[in-house]
Structure 1
Amino acid sequence: MIESRYRLIPQFTLKDEDGNDFSWKNLLGKYSVVYFYPKANTPGCTMEGLDFTKLIDEFNGNVVGISPDSCNAISSFKSKKGLKVKLLSDPEKTVAEQFGAAKDGKLIRSTFIVDPWGRIRKEWLKVSVNGHAEEVLEEYRKIIQEDNEINDSILLRRALRGVRPDPVDDEKIEKLIRAAHLAPSCMNKQPWRFIVVKSQENLEKLHTALSEGNYWMKHAPVMIIVYTDDELGCQLSDRRNYSLFDTGTAVGFLLTQATQMGLIAHPVAGYDPIKVKELFGINGIVITLIAVGYWGNIDILNEKHTAVELGDRMRKPIEEVCKII
């Protein structure tokens, strides 16, 4: 089951205008509009159906109308009015109630935009038909455009060093670890391991393992030791140790989540891994240390790091790192 801040569509199966089954699975993998209307062949419902039909190509054909009418009634309605939307019969208003488009047995004219993951991204209840299809199309286009942009947290994320010493709530740290723990892994082995270092005593111990260039990390209120071991992951042909790949993927998830939450999460390679293992009783490979905290303590940085901190983000040209063949 998808965990999301958006409501998921109910898992339903209804009959369409031809008497064939149409289920929630038919909505997956594409952007769709699902609208509920009270009764076929009435003026408002006819206008609504015709308005969506006029714009059907703009919706890529993915518009579904649901009413309590029988299959025969919606078939006649579709044929008589020349509608191009898919019509479904929900005689008991069960699916309407699951969507929130019916109350006390009465259907509420409603519209929902559903994304490829089955999430309801926008809803209208107690719809006024005039101009409604155009309004839905505007929102439909906006959602698709936003979804096709690079994730804003990925755009914002940088390896920032100006970390404030202000404490970070345990709840936020737990959320970072939960995000990392949702990463994919070979055969779902989940080989990543984390030690969250927060106490001053343990932070000072960890500071002794840092390289000179990572002086700024000593201001971080939280540091996360990320490690794994060969036996925790898949060992595949041609020396492919997937515990390393999987753990790196988990760190990527953590960094993105931290950026969304307004936190610096800066992983480093500059430390003595043997000393870190000895200090904290770790068996395996210490992949990285991640400094976590809030941004803004730029005055602690040396001249070189200040210039990097406030300068442009540097990336090689896409053509240098990717070929499409």
Structure 2
Amino acid sequence: MVEFSLLTEEDQTFTSQDLLGNYWVMYFYPKAGTSGCTLEAQQFNELFEQFDGHVIGVSPDSTKSLSSFKEKHGLKFTLLSDPNKELAQALEIVKNGKLIRSTFIVDPWGRIRREWINVKVDGHAQEVFEVYRKIREEDFSINPSILQRRAFRGLRSDPIEDEKLLRLIEAAHLAPSCSNKQPWRFIVVRTKENLEKLHEALSGGNYWMKYAPALIIVHTKDEFDCQLSDERNYALFDTGLAVGFLLVQATQMGLVAHPVAGYDPIKVKTLFGIDGRVITLVAVGKWGRFEQLSEKHLELEKSPRNRVELSQVVKLV
């Protein structure tokens, strides 16, 4: 959402910052009191509670006109005056000097999630409500990429473009860290020669990783991050966060990213000249080849997700 500061019908300042933290419907109408604008206001007013009270009407009218309009029709929601159509122009809903009737759904981060331009009034508020409800329900659900992500082993050997591999690292690099120290380091191994070198360090149970077209070495050093009381070495925690971001991004991109602990860390450090700790190796590839898997791993590949009950890992106090 663009930044703005406008006056309400009560001559109070309302800014874009006031939208943050909640879902909002902002609808723009040409002129208070006209038949179309009145009908639209009434229909949004009828759904005010279903919108959790987060409806705002915006027009070029003066605050005095808006106050009279709100009182006359018993409107429950806030009206904003955009007399010079500055906000409307920023949203590109002004044509030949005239405001185009439009509606926007804004999420708690200030992002416009849906827009309607050149609205037909009758039934519009109900349509907006259906989309508003759907967006809220989808946002409350678990991220689909988190639900889809599994520790799959059935990797194809098809090469992965460097652009995609770098996008995974870019996602990992956006993870939070103590004092923004960003302690994670990555070596993306994808040439045949270097992959074969790294294969020497794998444990026997990770034979399936030899089919991956890329293996990412994740490493760090204690001094790269905060050293806190009670022996809290934040380099480990923060690097783990970065790997988590990488896994979700990979799943979104249709890739398997499977981190493992089964390797010889000393050999990995020696082979690739690493000074510090090798936290994990992440196999990256496309899913869909199963003939190379052991019977045990083939069964795991298609088994349901196994998690202990939530009550065993959380306490609300």
TM-score, normalising length from structure 2? 0.99
The whole-number CA distance in structure 2 between the counterparts of 1:10 and 1:32 is: 14
Match of 1:6 in 2: none
Match of 2:303 in 1: 311
Q: Which runs of 5+ in 2 are unaligned?
A: none
The whole-number CA distance in structure 2 between the counterparts of 1:12 and 1:104 is: 22
Does 1:261 pair with 2:253?
yes
Match of 1:153 in 2: 145
Does 1:102 pair with 2:94?
yes
Match of 1:3 in 2: none
Q: What SS is found at the alignment partner of 1:30?
A: coil
- Aligned match of 1:205 in 187, 197, 220? 197
- Aligned match of 1:139 in 110, 131, 135? 131
TM-superposed deviation, 1:90: 0.5
Q: Supply the AA of the counterpart residue of 1:104.
A: N
Q: Supply the AA of the counterpart residue of 2:79.
A: L
Q: What SS is found at the alignment partner of 2:291?
A: helix
Q: Supply the AA of the counterpart residue of 1:138.
A: E
Equivalent residues in 2 for 1:121-132, closer than 5 Å = 121-132=113-124
1:304-324 CA-partner distances (Å, limit 9, x unpaired):
110111111111111111122
Q: What SS is found at the alignment partner of 1:179?
A: helix
Match of 2:5 in 1: 13
Match of 2:293 in 1: 301
Match of 1:238 in 2: 230
- Aligned match of 1:182 in 167, 170, 174? 174
The whole-number CA distance in structure 2 between the counterparts of 1:312 and 1:113 is: 37
Match of 1:78 in 2: 70
The whole-number CA distance in structure 1 between the counterparts of 2:235 and 2:96 is: 54
Q: What SS is found at the alignment partner of 2:116?
A: strand
The whole-number CA distance in structure 2 between the counterparts of 1:318 and 1:224 is: 31
Match of 2:25 in 1: 33
- Aligned match of 1:52 in 24, 34, 44? 44
The whole-number CA distance in structure 2 between the counterparts of 1:320 and 1:21 is: 48
TM-score, normalising length from structure 1? 0.96
The whole-number CA distance in structure 1 between the counterparts of 2:192 and 2:95 is: 56
The whole-number CA distance in structure 2 between the counterparts of 1:159 and 1:280 is: 25
Identity of aligned residues (%): 63
The whole-number CA distance in structure 1 between the counterparts of 2:245 and 2:13 is: 39
The whole-number CA distance in structure 2 between the counterparts of 1:99 and 1:148 is: 27
Does 1:229 pair with 2:221?
yes
1:77-123 CA-partner distances (Å, limit 9, x unpaired):
11112111210111111100112221232100000000001111111
Instruction: Give the alignment's Cα RMSD to 1 decimal.
Output: 0.7
The whole-number CA distance in structure 1 between the counterparts of 2:313 and 2:35 is: 58
The whole-number CA distance in structure 1 between the counterparts of 2:250 and 2:97 is: 45
Q: Supply the AA of the counterpart residue of 1:214.
A: N
Q: Which runs of 5+ in 1 are unaligned?
A: 1-8
The whole-number CA distance in structure 1 between the counterparts of 2:27 and 2:93 is: 9
Q: Supply the AA of the counterpart residue of 1:292.
A: V
The whole-number CA distance in structure 2 between the counterparts of 1:235 and 1:142 is: 44
The whole-number CA distance in structure 1 between the counterparts of 2:231 and 2:301 is: 37
Q: What SS is found at the alignment partner of 1:34?
A: strand
**Contact 1:49 1:85 survives alignment (8 Å):** no
TM-superposed deviation, 1:66: 0.5
Q: What SS is found at the alignment partner of 1:64?
A: strand
The whole-number CA distance in structure 2 between the counterparts of 1:171 and 1:309 is: 28
Which consecutive segments of 4 or more residues in structure 1 shift more than 3 A? none
Count of aligned residue pairs for this structure pair = 317
Q: Supply the AA of the counterpart residue of 1:23.
A: T
